[in-house]
Structure 1
Amino acid sequence: MEGIKVSIVNKDAFTVNADILGMKYATQAHGLDHHVIEALEAKGLHISKDLPVLGNFHFMESHEVVAAPHLLFIGTPPLQELNYKEIRAFGTQMMSAAKESNNAAKTLLLTIHGPGYGLDEVESFKSQLAGITEAIENNLYPESLEEIIFSELSLSRSGRLRENLYRIFSDGLIPKPNSRKIDTRKAVASLMESTGKISEEKKRVFVAMPFAEDFDDIFHYGIQGAVNNAGYLCERADLESFTGDIMSWVLQRIESAELVIADLSLANPNVYLEVGYAWGKGKKTVLIINDSNELKFDTRGQRCLPYKRIKDLERVLTNELKNLSRM
């Protein structure tokens, strides 16, 4: 086979069969690594002193807390500093560490990093994929590796990631360095040139909205598609993923955004604070709301786009972003 297969499965990483389960450790445990460490501690295995700092890794047996027999932790910056460039570097180091730890591994299990704490979903995936591809280009991967599996709990996200994978590599294979297929070589070059460090230079939209599960579909289906189709990265904050001062991260993303979209539904005070900060920084804002009767404070005199259904929101936002691009 001239390439390494990439699969995206809608499954819990705890249950997926693979030779190695690879995870980040961002100075603290978050998400999957948090749950794995908890499961190890429940068995009396305390590994806190072994967890890696930035640039290092820790490889160990899983002690059957997950289906994979081995665990690989990669030290990364804290979440607030784990941007697209760092995600790409993480992808490269994961492959290199897997080679050093278990060169006979045939399958490597990973999860996507970035969208869970607010980064653009597609750009995060492409950045991680670019890092993996870079490692393969430089022969920094287990020589027996046949497949890289991305485990994703969200059915809708796994579908979106799969679509983007096939847009990049039409056959779902990352070519090995000796591959002579012209189209796959072009795909590699395009991916390597367009993601990671250069992602930080792309125009971004920051979405201010309530931290509530009910708003996930509004973000993913009403906002994200319209923003990406207009040529922007689409970011938002996720309160549950952060420890420490989330507001400093939010304000920094607003400052670097080209535009702020704010959903004023439920009259959430944090959203109003973010809108006020955006105005103070001279940022363009697009205000949306599900019920205009909920408008508070000085926003009553501002233009606000009402929506009843998610599909309506996507259409209205698409038109609004087109109009703004002409200004």
Structure 2
Amino acid sequence: MSDDHLTVQVRQAGALSYQTDLLVLKYAQESHGVDREAATSLGVTPYRLPREGEHLLVDGTGVGAGAVLFLGVPSLDRFAYREIREFGRRALTVAAIERPRVRDVCLTLHGPGYGLDETEAFESELAGIADAVSEGAFPAGLRTVSFVEINARRAERLDALLKDMARIPRPRTGRPGSAVTIAGDDYRRLRSAGYDADTKEHAFVAMPFADSFEDVFHYGIVPPIRGAGLICERVDELSFTGDVVQRLKERIDAARIVVADLTNANPNVYLEVGYAWGRGVPTVLVCHQNTPLPFDVHGQRCLFYRSIRDLEQRLTREIGELLSGPGPV
């Protein structure tokens, strides 16, 4: 590896067991998932965790990292793509102050676990890293930034997204303001990642957040939506904090379309469909062919799919027709 480049990589591993110089975690004013586990393992009591805009560095004894850096960020209901980009930037700028000699920094991906678009979130966080490098605000000895992801399928998807973004040119001078040359189509789109998300149209997906639906979502629903130029979002009532119902209403109200999987007749999905209908949001219903529909929606148009591939093909055609037509489904 050339000294003029910073290598970014994805590793399938648990964040707390991964061997690194510095593990950077968010603290969204409440403990969630990995940051909760890290705080418990390290004996960090809640009152020590940082407020928004502040940070806390602790020794990593008890986990795989030499040290753990907690960054205080907005609560999850306010932690969207722009904030994810800022998190990526702060991860390196704060590390430059607190641990200037580290060679490896480890991050986790934020956003998809509570419903944000996986690709948009990853590009936003990666763009924040590029921001810090372009400012010359990163540890002088830094050589590798590792995204660790415990879910093997997500790790595969993130690794595929990197493509030729795996090496970020670093300023030769190391001074703030030194330019980073962004090369290739994948790099160019990082310039606006996170900043323009609010101006992009999105599709809201209503479906259970169950493991059995993960492949249906990521390989049957997400590709047709993103292929149509839309961000793909959903809301997980288990991971999200704050007023979940209000968040659901806001995202459905603002959606270009709603895609709802009625398989297994999940009551929350039907609630979201009813709200979308009431608000006049164009809605595409899909359902596995082995699931009978209840009377309430039996007469509605629904795409019955045999497999994930079949769903992707049918949904691609349906969304294409819907977005090119004058009215709702």
TM-score > 0.5 by shorter chain:
yes
Identify the structure with the greater helix proportion: 1
* Cα offsets for 1:39-69 (capped at 9, x unmatched): 22xxxx343222111111111102x221111
Counterparts of residues 11-160 of structure 1 (less than 5 Å): 11-40=13-42, 45-62=43-60, 64-160=61-157
CA contact (8 A) 2:50 2:71 kept: yes
Q: 1:119 to 1:271 in 2, by over 3 A?
A: same
* Cα offsets for 1:5-39 (capped at 9, x unmatched): 00101111122111100000000011110111122
* Amino acid of the structure 2 residue aligned with 1:78: S
> Is 1:176 the counterpart of 2:170 in the alignment?
yes
CA contact (8 A) 2:106 2:147 kept: yes
State the alpha-carbon separation in 1 of the partners of residues 256 and 207 from structure 2. 17
Q: 1:289 to 1:187 in 2, by over 3 A?
A: closer
* Cα offsets for 1:246-281 (capped at 9, x unmatched): 222211111111110001111111111101111111
* Cα offsets for 1:125-148 (capped at 9, x unmatched): 000011111111001111110000
SS in 1 for 2:130: helix
State the match for 2:231 in structure 1. Answer: 233
Deviation at 1:240, TM superposition (A): 2.8
Counterparts of residues 151-300 of structure 1 (less than 5 Å): 151-167=148-164, 169=165, 172-178=166-172, 184=183, 188-192=187-191, 194-291=192-289, 294-300=292-298
State the alpha-carbon separation in 2 of the partners of residues 212 and 183 from structure 1. 38
SS in 2 for 1:177: coil
CA contact (8 A) 1:9 1:152 kept: yes
How big is the alpha-carbon RMSD for the aligned residues of Structure 1 and Structure 2?
Answer: 1.9
Q: 1:230 to 1:185 in 2, by over 3 A?
A: closer
Unaligned runs of 5+ in 2: 173-177
State the alpha-carbon separation in 1 of the partners of residues 188 and 263 from structure 2. 43
Per the normalisation by structure 2, the TM-score is 0.92
Deviation at 1:243, TM superposition (A): 3.5
CA contact (8 A) 2:21 2:104 kept: yes
State the alpha-carbon separation in 2 of the partners of residues 116 and 108 from structure 1. 21
State the alpha-carbon separation in 2 of the partners of residues 181 and 88 from structure 1. 17
SS in 2 for 1:239: coil
State the alpha-carbon separation in 2 of the partners of residues 15 and 51 from structure 1. 21
Q: How many residues align?
A: 318
State the match for 1:309 in structure 2. Answer: 307
* Cα offsets for 1:196-254 (capped at 9, x unmatched): 12011111111001232211111011111121112111111223312343222211111
SS in 2 for 1:303: coil
Per the normalisation by structure 1, the TM-score is 0.92
CA contact (8 A) 1:54 1:75 kept: yes
SS in 2 for 1:14: coil
Deviation at 1:322, TM superposition (A): 1.5
